[in-house]
Amino acid sequence: MTSRPTVLITGASTGIGAVYAERFAQRGHNLVLVARDQARLQTLATRLQDAFEVSIEVLQADLTQLSDLAIVEARLREDASIGILINNAGAAQSGQFIEQSTDSVAHLVALNTTALVRLASAVAPRLAKAGSGAIINIGSVVGLAPEFGMSVYGATKAFVLFLSQGLSLELSPQGVYVQAVLPAATRTEIWDRAGIDINTLSDVMEVDDLVDAALVGFDRREPVTIPPLQEGERWDALQTARQGLLSQIRQSTVAQRYLTQA
């Protein structure tokens, strides 16, 4: 029987990451759980090991610190048993752009984009060489909607979507599956950490529902999974419109509307 690949999950101590850990442990996968909170990670690891008899390793790391990030990168490069990376670690931030400090903005970008792309970069060559594996990147529907007013957070999630789609085109022919998961408001601790009272929000999705839906998309090998999108055809229409727009771009010719009369 072919052994199941080990799954490395970032932001695994709580919320979406913790539920992913439980679901993959239920499926019989060994896990490497990454987060800052050692105690929470260990408590989760012990519970899942007892329940599902899988091997679980805890790796404490702050992914905004390059020294910690390098340790996780090395593990992804060198551990051939790791066949699935779940880039879940992330943060949000409340307030308007002009109210946010430069340092807080840089911290958000470092965690939501830099860490994610470095970890993907660390594991992708090995998976491509092996001809198998998967990378799951947790984005957000906010990345589709500047109207929501979370400019930096939304920009980082737009990056996650674009990166995932690009990697999917590059890596799927080599046997590596890349999935972008786009939640809407989901009941996790990210809101408290961002200074947002989740009780002021309506129609919040439960985290178990979000992950279970995302795993349906995973099993179907969807490139983009949007659990709260009620009509999947809307996403298909958006992609068709985007490709139609691209067909109208002429690299060497200025559009007529920008030509001035002498």
Q: Which of 20, 129, 153, 177 is catalytic?
A: 153
Q: Which of 20, 129, 157, 177 is catalytic?
A: 157
**Three-state SS letters, the chain:** CCCCCEEEEECCCCHHHHHHHHHHHHCCCCEEEEECCHHHHHHHHHHHHHHHCCCEEEEECCCCCHHHHHHHHHHHHHCCCEEEEEECCCCCCCCCHHHCCHHHHHHHHHHHHHHHHHHHHHHHHHHHHHCCCEEEEECCHHHHCHHHCCHHHHHHHHHHHHHHHHHHHHHHHHCCEEEEECCCCECCCHHHHCCCCHHHCCCCECHHHHHHHHHHHHHHCCCEECCCCCCHHHHHHHHHHHHHHHHCCCCCCCCHHHCCCC
In this structure, what are the phi and psi dihedrals at residue 5, rounded to the nearest 5 degrees? -70, 150
Q: Assess whether 157 carries a catalytic annotation.
A: yes
| Catalytic residue annotation | 153, 157
